[in-house]
């Protein structure tokens, strides 16, 4: 890696695109999601310092596509400097995220916490009941149940059985992924009062459109969510609603007092956006964007560096990929910074060659 061969620029940029099948398909509002596409970037500075980053977009969350991130890298070319990287459009949030993470740095990172709790992921529907005991025995005390997948009334009929199966003192998160209308959301929220529900995540979102909902649709959903938050005691968490820096800004401007589910990998300017949330004393739950262990390390660095009240991480996703070399640490009830820190980005990069 001789720095002498480098042209007199600040960085040499390389990128590698990946397509990694999941071990099993994810269910999304847009149908099954079978493989993760994204790209890794590598920046090398004139002194030979090297850094890596990952762009793991989720287009139906409103981020860019892998194609557009790839074209932007091709357009940048191999020789780049801070000015050109900084001039990338805001719409390329995931790529900007990757490039920021890839700036070679010397400063050691000091985590605020040595370890953080992880929420156990529970499957949708009746299958949930068979899994709680094993997860509880493994040490989990925060559980996340996917709802909004089957018939809302059938799912609601299961809620008491789910609550009864939880170990004492445990908390349940419900994630509807935006599936409900106002009436369904109200029925659920009424039932959640007096039950050990930590929050209901994204009860509603703009309809299943191909792209990002229009500003008018968005405003309607914003109003609905704010109304629900005001009418029921169970906190509401925003996830799909806060998928970009601009979304977070919008909700900060509305003085959102509920929970924020933040996928750091989707934010183009993590530092600024997190500073805004910290200033507002926001309750933040850090969550995976189903990125590889390379991107997850960068996202978890944000979570471990967060000064606010720690909430269980939404990173109970591993093992995730058919090729285990791309998985993060096995998802037990706690993630230790030591294990996250041990992830070697270069090995992930090399695994794609
Ligand atoms: Mg969610």
Q: Is the pLDDT of residue 108 over 90?
A: no
Give the span between the Cα atoms of 327 and 331, in whole angstroms. 10
Q: How many angstroms does the Cα of residue 240 sit away from the middle of ligand 1?
A: 7
Q: Are residues 47 and 120 in the same domain?
A: no
pLDDT tens per residue, range 311-351: 999 999 999 999 999 999 988 999 999 999 999 999 999 99
Average pLDDT over residues 153-177: 96
Residue 130 neighbours by CB distance under 10 Å: 11
Q: Using an 8 Å Cβ cutoff, are 22 and 33 in contact?
A: yes
Please state the domain count of the chain: 2
Identify the CATH number of the domain in which residue 82 sits.
Answer: 3.30.390.10
- 160-168 long-range CB contacts below 8 Å, 24 or more apart? 160/195, 161/129, 162/122, 162/128, 162/129, 162/132, 163/195, 163/196, 165/129, 165/132, 165/133, 166/132, 166/136, 166/196, 167/136, 167/141
Q: How many angstroms does the Cα of residue 3 sit away from the middle of ligand 1?
A: 44
Identify the CATH number of the domain in which residue 319 sits.
Answer: 3.20.20.120
Q: Are residues 277 and 144 in the same domain?
A: yes
Residue 328 neighbours by CB distance under 10 Å: 25
Q: Are residues 172 and 277 in the same domain?
A: yes
* Res 92: pLDDT: 97
Q: Are residues 189 and 303 in the same domain?
A: yes
Q: Are residues 135 and 239 in the same domain?
A: yes
Q: Are residues 177 and 62 in the same domain?
A: no
Q: Which residue blocks in 305-344 are alpha helix, DSSP H?
A: 337-341
Q: How many angstroms does the Cα of residue 202 sit away from the middle of ligand 1?
A: 7
* Res 27: pLDDT: 80
* Res 8: pLDDT: 41
Domain boundary among 73, 102, 131: 102
pLDDT tens per residue, range 169-200: 999 999 999 999 999 999 999 999 999 999 99
Q: Are residues 98 and 226 in the same domain?
A: no
Q: Are residues 185 and 50 in the same domain?
A: no
Quote the domain boundaries for residue 90. 10-102
Structural tokens at position 10: 């600040």
- Whether 147 is covered by a domain: the verdict is yes
* Res 213: pLDDT: 74
* Res 2: pLDDT: 46
Residue 23 neighbours by CB distance under 10 Å: 12
Annotated active-site residue 144? The verdict is no
Q: Which residue blocks in the chain are alpha helix, DSSP H?
A: 66-76, 82-86, 93-102, 132-137, 152-165, 182-192, 215-231, 245-253, 270-279, 293-304, 337-341, 345-351
Identify the active-site residue in 171, 220, 263, 279. Answer: 263
Q: How many angstroms does the Cα of residue 177 sit away from the middle of ligand 1?
A: 5
pLDDT tens per residue, range 220-235: 999 999 999 999 999 9
Indicate the SS3 state at residue 287: strand
Q: Are residues 25 and 144 in the same domain?
A: no
pLDDT tens per residue, range 32-75: 999 999 999 999 999 999 999 999 999 888 899 999 999 999 99
Annotated active-site residue 263? The verdict is yes
Tell me the CA distances in angstroms from 319 to 36, 247, 327, 329, 332, one per residue in order. 14, 30, 6, 8, 11
Identify the active-site residue in 107, 135, 146, 171. Answer: 146
Q: Are residues 162 and 249 in the same domain?
A: yes
- Whether 2 is covered by a domain: the verdict is no
What predicted TM-score, i.e. pTM, was given to this entire model? Answer: 0.95
Q: Are residues 89 and 162 in the same domain?
A: no
- Whether 3 is covered by a domain: the verdict is no
Q: Are residues 203 and 281 in the same domain?
A: yes
């Amino acid at each position: 890696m001789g720095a002498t061969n480098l042209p007199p620029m600040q960085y040499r940029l390389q990128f590698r695109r990946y397509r990694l099948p999941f071990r099993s398909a994810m269910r999304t509002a847009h149908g099954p999601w079978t493989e993760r596409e994204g790209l890794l970037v590598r920046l090398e500075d004139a002194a030979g310092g090297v850094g890596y980053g990952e762009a793991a977009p989720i287009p139906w969350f409103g981020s860019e596509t892998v194609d557009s991130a790839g074209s932007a890298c091709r357009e940048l070319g191999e020789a780049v400097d801070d000015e050109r990287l900084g001039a990338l459009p805001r719409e390329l949030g995931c790529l900007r995220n990757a490039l920021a993470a890839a700036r070679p740095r010397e400063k050691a990172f000091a985590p605020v916490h040595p370890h953080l709790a992880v929420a156990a992921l529970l499957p949708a529907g009746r299958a949930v009941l068979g899994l709680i005991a094993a997860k509880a025995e493994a040490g989990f005390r925060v559980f996340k149940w996917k709802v909004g997948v089957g018939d809302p009334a059938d799912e609601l009929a299961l809620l008491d059985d789910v609550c009864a199966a939880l170990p004492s003192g445990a908390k349940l998160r419900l994630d509807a992924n935006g599936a409900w209308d106002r009436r369904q959301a109200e029925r659920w929220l009424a039932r959640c009062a007096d039950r050990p529900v930590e929050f209901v995540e994204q009860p509603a979102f703009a309809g299943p459109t191909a792209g990002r909902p229009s500003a008018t649709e968005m405003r309607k959903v914003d109003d609905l969510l704010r109304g629900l938050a005001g009418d029921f005691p169970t906190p509401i968490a925003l996830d799909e609603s806060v998928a970009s820096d601009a979304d977070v800004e919008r909700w900060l401007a509305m003085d959102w007092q509920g929970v924020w589910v933040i996928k750091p990998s989707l934010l183009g300017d993590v530092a600024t956006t997190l500073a805004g949330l910290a200033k507002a004393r926001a309750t933040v739950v850090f969550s995976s964007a189903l990125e590889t262990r390379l991107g997850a390390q960068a996202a978890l660095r944000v979570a471990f560096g967060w000064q606010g009240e720690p909430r269980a991480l939404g990173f109970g996703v591993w093992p995730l990929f058919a090729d285990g070399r791309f998985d993060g640490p096995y998802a037990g009830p706690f993630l230790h910074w030591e294990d996250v820190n041990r992830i070697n980005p270069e090995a992930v990069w090399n695994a794609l060659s």
